[in-house]
Amino acid sequence: MSRAALVGNITAMLEDAEFLVSDRCAVRPKSFDLVARRGDDLVLLKILRNVDALDAATGAELRRLGEYLEATPIVVGMRTRDEDLKPEVVYFRHGVPVINPDTAYDLFIEEVPPLIYAAPGGLYVSIDGDLLSDEREERGWSLGRLANELGVSRRTVSKYEDGMNASIEVAIQIEEIFGEQFSSPVNVLEGAEEVRDADPTPSEPDADPDDEHVVTVLTRAGFDVHPTVRAPFKTVSEDEGSSSTSMRLLTGHSTFTEAAEKRARIMSSIGTVAETRSVYFTEDSQKRTSVDDTALVSCEELAEMNDPEAIRDLIRDRSTAPNEA
């Protein structure tokens, strides 16, 4: 299956699962392909045939964007260099959860999260340690008795009961012994944080020197500006303010060419799904004030404005908020 066909299949799957799905981010560079929302669940999806194509820089960008947009980055892929990805298993690349299309179907359509995750050394599951302890004591078994049944040390059983995860082989043994399930699902839609072994969110990059004057004006207007490197927008900017005036922006910046207009339209689609506004700052004057729901603001206009509230009002007037769409 081609990558384009895979993206189309995942898009259709999400729509069948009643997600609102953005247009495909058909620009370069790009750290994700789709943004999708269902209720409170917002996901950034990177779709690859071979997940080894996800490099460290893109993984770092996905994790940063997940934090800025309150979203979960997920990679959907078919295989690694050595083998096909197994169904019902969560893998990780650079701290980002990775699942195959069958697992995605279970998660998004059936709303059944996976139980198994891959980590160095094999496949593992999260064990409900309190339940294991209760069942062992109900039977009157000592730690040593259960350890003998499992072929592990007494100390290892104690660790399982304290919350240490178990290999899939041990988990199957435990469930066969007690006749019930002790495995806890992996919460992929919250980043699988309970089993993800990764460093803190990578620090953000410096702004592109060409964008520094825009960043300066936005910062002066009260926005916390987060530069991006591989997204279809240049920054995610946040103005916390009060609950009635807070604003999150996707911002672009360049001379307004056909390629820039294409980015502005993609930003509008992403903003609708992610529930943000979007604004494109242009280096040339514009007769239009918006492209779809993305505001157009010339840098010349911006330079003439000294009042932070006037800048925020201009952006509000020209862009469309999610609840206004």
What is the Cα 59 distance to its own chain's centre?
10
Stretch 128-134: mean pLDDT, rounded? 92
Residue 73 has pLDDT above 70, yes or no: yes
For the chain, give every residue range classified as CATH 1.10.260.40.
123-184
Beta bridge partners of 117: 90, 124
Q: Please answer whether residues 104 and 77 qualify as being in contact, where contact means their C-beta atoms are separated by less than 8 angstroms.
A: no
Class of domain 3-114: alpha beta
pLDDT one-digit tens code per residue, 265-311: 999 999 999 999 999 999 988 788 899 999 999 988 888 888 888 88
Alpha helical stretches, state H, 80-196: 101-108, 129-138, 143-150, 154-161, 168-178
Beta bridge partners of 166: 125
What's residue 240's pLDDT? 66
Q: CATH assignment of 123-184, given 1.10.260.40, 3.40.430.10, 1.10.287.130, 3.40.640.10?
A: 1.10.260.40
- Report the 10 Å Cβ neighbour count for 241: 12
Q: pLDDT band for position 247 (50/70/90)?
A: confident
The CA-atom distances, in angstroms, between 20 and each of 35, 102, 208, 239, 262 are 8, 20, 32, 25, 20
Helix (H, G, I), strand (E, B) or coil at 275: coil
Q: What is the pTM of this model?
A: 0.90
Stretch 126-153: mean pLDDT, rounded? 92
Q: pLDDT band for position 221 (50/70/90)?
A: confident
Q: pLDDT band for position 324 (50/70/90)?
A: low
Which of the residue ranges 28-32, 60-64, 177-181, 243-247 would you say has the lowest mean pLDDT? 243-247
What's residue 27's pLDDT? 86
Stretch 116-139: mean pLDDT, rounded? 91
Helix (H, G, I), strand (E, B) or coil at 8: helix
Stretch 26-45: mean pLDDT, rounded? 93
Per the document, the length of the chain is 325
For the chain, give every residue range classified as CATH 3.40.1350.
3-114, 209-324
Question: What CATH number belongs to 209-324?
Answer: 3.40.1350
The rounded percent of the chain whose pLDDT value lies above 90 is: 67
Residue 141 has pLDDT above 80, yes or no: yes
Q: pLDDT band for position 245 (50/70/90)?
A: low
Helix (H, G, I), strand (E, B) or coil at 123: strand
- 285 against 225, higher pLDDT: 225
- Report the 10 Å Cβ neighbour count for 323: 6
- 322 against 127, higher pLDDT: 127
Q: Which of 277, 117, 252, 286 lies closest to 198 in space, CA to CA?
A: 117
Mean confidence (pLDDT) of the chain: 91
**CA–CA dist 158, 33 (Å, integer):** 44
- 322 against 205, higher pLDDT: 205
Q: Please answer whether residues 267 and 299 qualify as being in contact, where contact means their C-beta atoms are separated by less than 8 angstroms.
A: no
What's residue 244's pLDDT? 54
Residue 47 has pLDDT above 70, yes or no: yes
Helix (H, G, I), strand (E, B) or coil at 69: helix
What's residue 125's pLDDT? 92
